[in-house]
Amino acid sequence: MSTATNRPINRRVVLARHPDGMVKESDFRIEDEELGELGKGEVLVKQEAISVDAFIRTALNEVEGLHTATPIGGIIGTLGVGRVIESNNDDFAVGDAVSGGLGAQTYVQGSPTYMKIDDSKVPATAYLGALGLTTGVTAYFGILNCAAAKAGDTVVVSGAAGAVGSIAVQVAKIKGCKVIGIAGGQKKCDFLVNELGLDGAIDYKNDDVDAKIKELCPGGVDVFFDNVGGELLDIILDNLAMKGRIAICGAISQYGDQQNIRGPSLYLRLAERWGTMGGFVVSYYADQFEKAYADLGQWMEEGKLVMPETIEEGIDNFPKALVGLFNGANTGKMLVKL
């Protein structure tokens, strides 16, 4: 039972206005609320880290899309990890680490909608990164199931230095593929080659992407894992190998104006080259989550899989972190530590 008398103040990020185009810090505001006493079956969690993901942008529009629309004044929906500090619930003890949809806030109070996690072997933030549903697990199924990458394939990943992309390239390498990453800036390209061991990297900001694809993938692209969309998708379609496969994970280049998304103009290359292009969301593979967690965890323990992190400190910096995500400020997983 709870014995606390002085209740904590919850600091949270809410939507001040629906973004016009790309998200801005002024689209949010920070609010404080005093928490009440725990009710029967309720738990109080102190959040330790918030996951900053591209999908958050798709929930900020006035019109609901794939994700539930956030109302004005509503808390920003995010994933996070935290620790139970009070409990009136027999299934959760003080000290338990948890992960789930905790929202952009410092505390979470109420009936649990999250899961307990084991952070005895890996840090809790791994459940937002390499073991995270929207990060490592998404990359795992995109590469191995949706795109069906196999040893000997030439795999190209856009947004390769981001959270999902940096795991996708490593999974492909583990499976014996030749892997080329596309990222923005020489620093990120150096990271992909020198730290993640990729076979090549393309700087979309400064390189002729089409020419570099032809140079690095002379036999064409067998698998393209797309996080970006737009012009890059057309370039890959024009360089697709026979029976090439494209997995559509996201299209961050298009999230600023989702009412006018630009699709590929060279889609007939799929017919010409017996290719396939498919989209997916991680929930499609829910019946296989256990295997994904087991494989990813083993690769982490063996040192084959790493998850770089870019950290902002404090809940007040969540809007800055989200804007930074869309401006390419992160290498690996963007997190807000609390």
Burial of 283 per CB tally in 10 Å (0-12, 13-18, 19+): exposed
- 3-class secondary structure, 236: helix
Q: Report the alpha-carbon distance of residue 279 to residue 146 in Å, rounded.
A: 8
% of the chain residues with pLDDT over 90? 80
Q: Report the alpha-carbon distance of residue 243 to residue 147 in Å, rounded.
A: 11
What's the token pair of residue 185?
């800036």
| Dihedral sign (CA 287, 288, 289, 291) | positive
Strand partners, 32: 11
Strand partners, 30: 13
Average pLDDT value for residue range 187-204: 97
**Predicted pLDDT at 226:** 93
218, 241 in Cβ contact below 8 A?
no
Residue 2, pLDDT > 50, answer no
The second-level CATH assignment, the architecture, of 136-284 is: 3-Layer(aba) Sandwich (3.40)
Q: In this structure, how many other beta carbons lie within 10 angstroms of the beta carbon of residue 11?
A: 17
Residue in 84, 87, 71, 98 with CA at minimum distance from that of residue 39:
87
Q: What's the whole-model pTM score? A: 0.88
- 3-class secondary structure, 326: helix
Q: Are strands 200-203 and 309-313 parallel, antiparallel or unpaired?
A: unpaired
Q: Report the alpha-carbon distance of residue 108 to residue 156 in Å, rounded.
A: 40
Domain spans of the chain, in order of start: 9-129+307-337, 136-284
| Range in 63-72, 96-105, 329-338 the model is least confident about | 63-72
**Predicted pLDDT at 44:** 97
Q: Tell me, letter by letter, the H, E, C secondary structure of 252-272.
A: HHHHHHHHHCCCCCCCHHHHH
Q: Report the alpha-carbon distance of residue 50 to residue 335 in Å, rounded.
A: 6
Span 204-258, pLDDT tens digits = 999 999 999 999 999 999 999 998 777 899 999 999 999 999 999 875 554 545 5
Reply yes or no on domain 9-129+307-337 having CATH 3.90.180.10. Answer: yes
- Concatenated DSSP letters for 106-119? SEEEES--SEEE--
Span 6-58, pLDDT tens digits = 889 999 999 999 998 889 999 999 999 999 999 999 999 999 999 999 889 88
- 3-class secondary structure, 6: coil
119, 83 in Cβ contact below 8 A?
no
